């Protein structure tokens, strides 16, 4: 199993048409290239998060006035790297205790000193009552499975589709769940190229790609600023042998796209992402495992935890073909045995909705009943 840096890429902010009504809570109210209304509803004020994005936030901060500056005409796609935590010279701030039932995976894991036991979700699974019930009961954190990826948010240049990601974030906030944003610089694995829009892949100049990455991150991270625990800033950036995976980002910008993305994320959402030049605060390892691979997780976490400057590590996308109880408990013990490991995210709730459904890799069966792997995890917690 390979470990990968977490990163997220954001698309350039596009100008929105002027509307007469005041902007609602957490809506955009300013930024370079923005032509919409700058007045927030009662109880909210327009707060400048960065040059590209101002947002209606609770409070009485004086409204921000912005001048409409044209967005670079050359838009370039962001890079995708494996999920890693943000960087900071200080320890990350403590997050509020997420909601879950008393004897749940979340509560038992937290009692062992960990921050979250989470899962992925999106509106397609939030429409399933049985799925929602399990998330509410068992998990303390949610990660958007696909709705925040570049292809989902901005399949064509100059427009955003916020509906699905907004719904995921709103649901999580209303239900007391922590959120990991996934991802700002989208996946670059060849098999996932469909999740990076063609218009991004076609960018070939350094200045243009830099501008697009910074603008995308400002728009996406800025939209959800203050609501997320952390961002997967760069996702799936490494090959299995540790070399940097070929992508439009590495091809045009070399390794410099990594600090570029983290610095842009910190500017856009300083409460969730911590980045300073040359450093990354945390790293994650994915866990899309086949049978017999769980024993490799401890070594992967150890390697990540030894990296200079790293303050936390996490298991970010866990599913195991066949859902062996012993293999799942081996992975959970690996996190428990690693002081810097803050949490585990299983990649789905029920086998019915898994991206690897034929392998029945999750903790709940197709009827949303707990499997032996779930019971075994509860047993060691």
State the DSSP H helix or E strand holding residue 264, giving kind and residue range, or none if neither.
helix 257-268
State residue 47's pLDDT score. Answer: 75
In the sheet that holds 53-58, the strands lie side by side as: 28-30, 53-58, 44-50
User: Measured between alpha carbons, how far is 315 from 343 in angstroms, rounded to an integer?
Assistant: 6
Q: Which of 145, 151, 317, 327 is catalytic?
A: 317
- Helix, strand or coil, per DSSP, at residue 23: strand
Task: Judge whether 259 and 298 are in contact, CB under 8 Å.
Answer: no
Strands (E), the chain: 3-4, 28-30, 44-50, 53-58, 116-121, 141-144, 178-185, 230-234, 275-276, 279-280, 282-289, 312-320, 341-346
Is the bond leading into 183 cis (omega within 30 degrees of zero)? yes
How far is residue 156 CA from its own chain's centroid? 21
Question: Is 15 inside a domain boundary?
Answer: no
214 is a catalytic site residue? no
Q: Is residue 45 one of the residues assigned to a domain?
A: no
Angle between helices 325-336 and 372-380 (to 10 degrees): 30
Q: Is 56 within a domain?
A: no
Distance CA 49, CA 41 (A): 18
The model carries a pTM of 0.74
Active site residue 317: yes
| φ and ψ of 318, to 5 deg | -100, 125
Neighbours of 238 (CB within 10 A): 18
Show the domain range for 214: 3-8+72-380
Q: How far apart are CA 107 and CA 97, in angstroms?
A: 9
Residue 254 lies in a domain: yes
Q: Which residues pair with 244 in a beta bridge?
A: 238
Query: Can you say whether residue 31 is alpha, beta or left, with left for phi > 0 and alpha for psi between -120 and 50 degrees?
Result: left
276 within a domain of the structure (yes/no): yes
> Would residue 38 count as lying in a domain?
no
Number of domains the chain is built from: 1
Q: Which of 138, 214, 236, 312 is catalytic?
A: 236
Residues 6+ apart with CB under 8 A from 236: 4, 80, 81, 82, 187, 188, 189, 192, 245, 286
Within-domain flag for 24: no
Q: For residue 372, give the CATH number of its domain.
A: 3.20.20.80
User: Does 43 map to a domain?
Assistant: no
Per-residue pLDDT of the chain (381 residues), as tens digits, is 332 234 322 222 222 222 335 766 556 677 655 567 788 878 778 877 555 556 666 664 333 333 323 333 332 233 333 333 333 333 344 567 899 999 999 999 999 999 999 999 999 999 999 999 999 999 999 999 999 998 899 988 888 999 999 999 999 999 999 999 998 986 555 444 457 788 888 889 999 999 999 999 999 999 999 999 988 888 887 777 778 888 888 889 888 888 888 889 888 988 776 555 556 778 888 899 998 999 999 999 999 888 877 889 999 999 999 999 999 999 999 999 999 999 999 999 999 999 999 999 999 999 999 999 999 999 999
């Amino acid at each position: 199993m390979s470990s990968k840096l977490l990163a997220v890429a954001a698309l350039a902010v596009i100008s929105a048409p002027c509307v007469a009504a005041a902007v609602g809570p957490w809506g955009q109210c300013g930024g370079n290239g923005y032509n919409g209304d700058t007045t927030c509803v009662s109880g909210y004020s327009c707060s400048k998060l960065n040059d590209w994005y101002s947002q209606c936030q609770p409070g009485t901060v004086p409204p921000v006035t912005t001048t409409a500056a044209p967005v670079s005409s050359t838009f370039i796609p962001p890079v995708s790297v494996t999920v890693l935590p943000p960087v900071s010279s200080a320890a990350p701030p403590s997050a509020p205790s997420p909601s879950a039932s008393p004897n749940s995976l979340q509560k038992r894991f937290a009692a062992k000193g960990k921050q979250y036991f989470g899962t992925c979700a999106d509106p397609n699974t939030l429409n399933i009552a049985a799925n929602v019930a399990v998330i509410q009961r068992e998990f303390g954190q949610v990660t958007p499975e696909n709705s925040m990826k570049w292809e989902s948010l901005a399949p064509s240049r100059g427009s955003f589709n916020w509906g699905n990601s907004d719904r995921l974030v709103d649901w999580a906030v209303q239900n007391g769940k922590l959120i990991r944003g996934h991802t700002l610089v989208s996946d670059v694995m060849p098999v996932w190229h469909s999740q990076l829009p063609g218009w991004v892949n076609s960018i070939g100049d350094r200045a243009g790609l830099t501008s697009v990455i910074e603008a995308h991150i400002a728009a996406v991270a800025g939209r959800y600023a203050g609501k997320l625990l952390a961002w997967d800033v760069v996702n799936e950036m490494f090959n299995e042998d540790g070399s940097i995976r070929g992508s439009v980002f590495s091809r045009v910008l070399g390794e410099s796209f990594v600090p570029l993305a983290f610095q842009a994320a910190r500017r856009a959402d300083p409460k969730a992402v911590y980045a300073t030049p040359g450093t990354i605060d945390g790293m994650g390892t994915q866990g899309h495992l086949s049978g017999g691979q769980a024993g490799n997780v401890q070594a992967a976490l150890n390697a990540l935890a030894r990296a200079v400057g790293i303050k936390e590590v996490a298991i970010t996308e866990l599913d195991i073909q066949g859902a062996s109880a012993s293999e799942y408990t081996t992975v959970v013990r690996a996190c428990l045995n690693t002081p810097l490991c803050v949490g585990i995210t299983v990649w789905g709730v029920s086998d019915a909705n898994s991206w690897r459904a034929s392998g029945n890799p999750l903790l709940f069966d197709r009827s949303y009943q707990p499997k032996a792997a779930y019971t075994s995890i509860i047993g060691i917690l």
